[in-house]
Amino acid sequence: MPHTDTEITAELIRELLRDQHPDLAGHPLRLGARGWDNQLWRLGDDLAVRLPWATEHADALLRKEHTWVPSLAPLLPLPVPVPQRLGHASARFPRSWTVTTWVPGSPADRAAATRATAADSLAAFLTALHRPAPESAPVSGYGRGGPLADLTEGFERQLASAVEQELIPDPDAVRALWDDAVAAPPWTGPPLWLHGDLHPANILTSEGTFCGVIDFGDLCAGDPACDLAAPWILLPDGALDRFHRAYQPTPDAATLRRARGWALLRAFSGILIGEAGLQGRPGGKPSWGPPAHASLRRLLAADRP
């Protein structure tokens, strides 16, 4: 990951706040997390500062959140980080940054949902989010929400890597699942709002269920099957049918087939990132492996919709 040349410290952030948002500069400040794109620093009790640090496009994602999330957040039944201020590039820090509300909870890759009622919570969130998006809504630069067939090359690379590392039990079954998902009829409805990146590190838990959703940098419009992959990797065993009963409108068989393909991509990513973490390789996150392996196990064990 191409980290920013500027070292991000508490003093730097305080200087940025003094320059652009001086009313916030006196709040206590402490590091919260270092993600793929941004660093998150907790500001006082109720706010957070997010600064791009590891990818070239991170500040564009923050500006996208600042544009769209404030109008979506009041419609959602789970708390989400709502942008409050936008920081502009300056001599001290050459990139955009934001101040958002703070959402308490533990990332699901470290504290998984264990209660069946988590299915109801996730279904309510996605039912509320999946509404027709305006024509000006962003389109994913990674193909999320688009045709699965466009991602076949990436699937083949991930499959080859997983097979080489002996990380999957039945490559033939995996390929059959993918082929079935790609062959499913396409989405013919209007483009819907999508979170676009519902992996376990982007959803928060408390007392065994979901209590918040974070990181809307991949917010986009498209096929809801992309987000409907989430139950496979986020829910405890036995809760998938409960989710499908609670989500509205009830997904048709074609959407569920496509969702299984998206879930397979999500599982592969988590398995490979988790293994990289176990091996100490850059970008690896050991906590991503267990939920991804569980998701693949569920996908291969289930009957086709």
pLDDT digits (tens, 9 = 90+) for 120-141: 999 999 999 999 999 999 998 7
Residue 249: CB atoms within 10 Å: 10
User: HSE on the CB side for 153, CA within 13 Å?
Assistant: 3
Predicted confidence (pLDDT) at residue 3 exceeds the cutoff of 60: no
Predicted confidence (pLDDT) at residue 2 exceeds the cutoff of 50: no
Length of the chain: 305
pLDDT (0 to 100) of residue 304: 52
pLDDT (0 to 100) of residue 4: 56
Predicted confidence (pLDDT) at residue 149 exceeds the cutoff of 70: yes
Predicted confidence (pLDDT) at residue 104 exceeds the cutoff of 70: yes
pLDDT (0 to 100) of residue 1: 41
Per-residue confidence band for 305, with pLDDT thresholds at 50, 70 and 90: very low
**CA-wise closest residue to 32 among 18, 13, 6:** 13
pLDDT (0 to 100) of residue 33: 87
What tokens does 130 get?
């999946």
DSSP string, 233-248: HHSPTT-HHHHHHHSS
Per-residue confidence band for 55, with pLDDT thresholds at 50, 70 and 90: confident
Give Cβ neighbours of residue 260 (< 8 Å, ≥ 6 apart): 177, 180, 181, 229, 232, 299, 304, 305
Estimate the crossing angle of helix 289-301 against helix 253-278, to 10 degrees: 140
Structural contact between residues 263 and 232, judged by C-beta atoms closer than 8 angstroms: yes
pLDDT (0 to 100) of residue 243: 98
Give Cβ neighbours of residue 175 (< 8 Å, ≥ 6 apart): 159
pLDDT (0 to 100) of residue 302: 80
Structural contact between residues 259 and 253, judged by C-beta atoms closer than 8 angstroms: no
Per-residue confidence band for 53, with pLDDT thresholds at 50, 70 and 90: confident
Of 6-10, 87-91, 100-104, 276-280, the one with minimum mean pLDDT is 6-10
Tokens 């419009």 correspond to 221
Give Cβ neighbours of residue 241 (< 8 Å, ≥ 6 apart): none
The helix, strand and coil proportions of the chain, stated in percent and rounded to the nearest 5, come to 45, 15, 40
Percentage, residues of the chain above pLDDT 90: 90
